[in-house]
Amino acid sequence: MRFLFLGDVVGRPGRVAVQERLPRLREQWTLDCVVINGENAAGGFGITEAICDELLAAGADAVTLGNHSWDQREALVFIERQDRLVRPANYPKGTPGRGAAVIEARNGARVLVVNVMGRIYMEALDDPFQALERELSACPLGEVADAVIVDFHAEATSEKQAAGYFLDGRASLVVGTHTHVPTADARILPGGTAYLSDAGMCGDYDSVLGMQKDEPIRRFLQKTPGARLEAAGGVGTLSGIAVEIDDGTGLAKAVFPVRIGPHLAPSAPPWDEA
């Protein structure tokens, strides 16, 4: 199975990059399943129903979230009827939506998608490791799920790495999101789980984490209240990870960083079918 995960979609540049490039990539790389983190898709802050529908229409099979899940208040309502929108599983009991979803890949495989949020330098949510144990125990790889994808939305690399080893052999991919900067540690762990500390973002990299540069720089210089952060408006780059997953075991066979667009060194899997 060929799988693609794309990091945080930030504002219009990220959405346009996904809409313009993903439909072709699905066919060019014969992708069976695509998951996208969409928590910054609405101007950098949250997601709307219309934007979620756009990402799904462009070729995403599921959309994950993070600490900006509820910045657009309509998400509290429409997430209940959108079963392919997945918020962190370690939100307290009673939070709208779901922290895991089983989706059907193009090749018919059952793919469990789990989203959790870290706690180091983040909101004090429930234990993400217990949440992962709960979700994977309910839908184990090789028994109920043919593949398991975990989006660990967190600030600290150590917390993400710990999660990778915690799930090694039980997940197809553990990928970090949130920092908007792609890391260089894409690899397969000893037990067969693909891992990447952060997928980076889908957005304009001529920016400060996807935002127009002036206001973030001013905040560092002056430490005073100022203007609202605004998403940068340049050409977006797709950033993420492609994984070849063994159909028999559900574990990773190969991993390839993905960077398509300006400002970053290009990288892609050798899957071109044309």
- Residues in the chain, overall count: 274
> E strand or H helix at 112, and its extent?
strand 110-117
Whose tokens are 């260089």? That residue is 184
What is the number of other CB atoms lying within 10 angstroms of the CB of residue 200? 26
Residue type for position 259: R
Task: List the structure tokens of 187.
Answer: 């690899």
- 190: alpha, beta or left, given left = phi > 0 and alpha = psi -120 to 50? alpha
User: Where in the sequence numbering do the catalytic residues fall?
Assistant: 68
Q: What does DSSP say about strands 62-64 and 33-37: parallel, antiparallel, or unpaired?
A: parallel
Give Cα separations from 104 to 22, 89, 110, 206 (angstroms): 18, 20, 5, 36
Helix (H, G, I), strand (E, B) or coil at 16: helix
Record the tokens describing residue 189, joined without a space: 């762990």
